[in-house]
Amino acid sequence: MAEEAIYNDDISINNQWDEICSQLKMEFGETAFDSWLKPLSVSSFDNGVMSICAPTAFMKNWVIAHYSERIHRIWERKNPEIKEVQFVVQNLSAGQTAGNLHGDNSLIKKIKLSPTPQGIYGLNTVANNYADCDSYSSKLNPAFTFENFVVGKTNEFAYAAARKVAESKNVSFNPLFLYSGVGLGKTHLMHAIAQYIKNSDPKRTVVYISAEQFLYKFVNALRYKDTDAFKEQFRSVDVLMIDDVQFLANKTKTQDEFFYTFTSLIESGKQIILSADKSPTDLDGIENRLKSRLNSGLVADIMPTDFDLRLGILHKKAEQMGIILPENVAEFLAQKISSSIRELEGSLKRIAAHSLLLSSGNEITLDMTQDILKDMLRSIDRKTTIDEIQKKVAEYFNISVKEMQSSRRARNVARPRQIAMYLAKQLTSRSLPEIGRKFDRDHTTVMHAVRKVEELIVEDTSMAESIDDLRHALEC
């Protein structure tokens, strides 16, 4: 994930890695992610074996001990071709390929590592893979069109705004800022706008780029002392689209450059469309002046999907894949897989692959679905959220969730709060600061609560039983 890395590998593998990284970041928290997972990069994929590079042996061992199982599980789910994930130490000496690192070149596909001017070897993220050679824009996914976007209550506003911007000959809302959690359709809508404009008015220059690529190109321009060309490229477009703006957090220089590009385009009446995982106001690490610019047009969010939308999407995707999806299977999937559309789609692809390759009659049944997805369903069933924990614990002790999150220190409120913090640590993969935020406290308070409850469990059997009851209720 090194932002300055240069390397070419298979697009889909890099995309999958990026998605996995976003998920790991959510699961383990930003601090753990930045320390241990961000420095990792994809090395090679061959014969079902995925190799991931760590910069040092210590880091490699740490990742194996703490994160490898999870990485393997998520990846396997995304790509059933992956049978094994192995970790290797990245060798930085010139001229070596990742294959050399394993001592057995025949096992791992040789990959091209191109040296940067500083002689650093690394692996590309989305950046190079998506970049067209002769322009700053990225390739667009032809499937991400308005026609293929299923509209429901939770995304109709964002969809309408996107369509309006795409169809208007003149600048309408500027900037259009789309935001949502992962896998809910931001990139799909951005590509749909770009393709619509390119088709309907080929004279307009549209640049679509992820914020990560923008950053990468800017860093390169600085390195090659080529910032004039960089500025020129970005300031001469008719429509500038930057996806996942949250990647610019704390990158002050790139934010400055972006700010000037932004201002210059808006002043000359050019359309800007942006996306992020949070609203401009809630974005962390973005300068205030930039935030206020981001807020100055139309801000549209895509909310988490509801059952009907998930059902609609499943039917649409099944039709596109050419499979017949029985209603009871569709309802089962729409009920169970509610986190992101990407996961929903992934599950459908797995079922489709099985039904096409393995089952004789091609018929999809509920039994077969449950069997194919059993690992995925198990992990979904086990996923307890802090919100649920707060609710269940509050109910159990007859207080309200509001009281639990309040600053009250009375024992009848403080104790349940500590128990909820303890269970959140035990039953979720959230970090201490993340848990703390849910209770409006800092991570030291959570740490203290966890210790306190551990003591209580030893000292007080009735307390231990209550906690056991709660744990049981939450895990079922």
From the centroid of its chain, how far is CA 215? 18
Q: Which does 342 bind (CB under 5 to 8 A by kind): ligand ADP, Mg ion, none?
A: ligand ADP
Q: Is residue 431 at the binding interface for Mg ion, with CB under 5 A as the rule?
A: no
Q: Which does 149 bind (CB under 5 to 8 A by kind): Mg ion, ligand ADP, none?
A: ligand ADP
Q: Which of residues 265-294 bind Mg ion (CB under 5 A)?
A: none
CB of residue 144 vs ligand ADP: minimum separation in angstroms?
Answer: 6
Place of tokens 């210790």: 451
Is residue 218 a contact partner of residue 254, using CB atoms and an 8 Å limit?
Answer: yes
Alpha helices in 201-251 (DSSP H): 211-223, 227-235
Q: Please compute, for residue 216, the number of CA atoms within 13 A of its CA located in the half-sphere on the CB side.
A: 24
| DSSP letter string, 70-136 | HHHHHHHHH-TT--EEEEEEPP-STT--GGGGGT-TTTS----BPPPTT-------HHHHHB-SSSS
**CB closer to ligand ADP out of 9 and 19:** 19
CB of residue 212 vs Mg ion: minimum separation in angstroms?
Answer: 11
CB of residue 59 vs ligand ADP: minimum separation in angstroms?
Answer: 28
**Which token pair is 82?**
């992956």
* CB-based closest residue to ligand ADP: 185
Alpha helices in 322-359 (DSSP H): 327-336, 341-357
**Which token pair is 181?**
């959690």
**CB closer to ligand ADP out of 108 and 318:** 318
**CB closer to ligand ADP out of 244 and 257:** 244
Of 183, 215, 466, give the one whose Cα is nearest residue 347.
Answer: 183
- Indicate the residue type of 247: F
Interface ranges with ligand ADP (CB under 6 A): 144, 148-150, 155, 180, 182-188, 313, 341-342, 345
Q: Which does 178 bind (CB under 5 to 8 A by kind): ligand ADP, Mg ion, none?
A: none
CB of residue 188 vs ligand ADP: minimum separation in angstroms?
Answer: 4
**CB closer to ligand ADP out of 90 and 155:** 155
CB of residue 149 vs ligand ADP: minimum separation in angstroms?
Answer: 5
* CB-based closest residue to Mg ion: 187
Measure the CA–CA gap between 243 and 208, rounded to whole angstroms.
8
Measure the CA–CA gap between 51 and 49, rounded to whole angstroms.
6
Q: Which does 313 bind (CB under 5 to 8 A by kind): Mg ion, ligand ADP, none?
A: ligand ADP
**CB closer to ligand ADP out of 193 and 467:** 193
CB of residue 209 vs Mg ion: minimum separation in angstroms?
Answer: 12
Strand partners, 89: 54
Q: Which of residues 174-213 bind Mg ion (CB under 5 A)?
A: 186-187
**CB closer to ligand ADP out of 45 and 149:** 149
- Indicate the residue type of 435: I
Number of residues that bind Mg ion (CB under 5 A): 2
Element spanning 15, H or E: helix 11-28
**CB closer to ligand ADP out of 131 and 341:** 341
Q: Which does 188 bind (CB under 5 to 8 A by kind): ligand ADP, Mg ion, none?
A: ligand ADP
| DSSP letter string, 192-212 | HHHHHHHHH-TTS-EEEEEHH
CB of residue 97 vs Mg ion: minimum separation in angstroms?
Answer: 31
**CB closer to Mg ion out of 131 and 373:** 131
- Site residues (vs Mg ion, CB under 5 A): 186-187
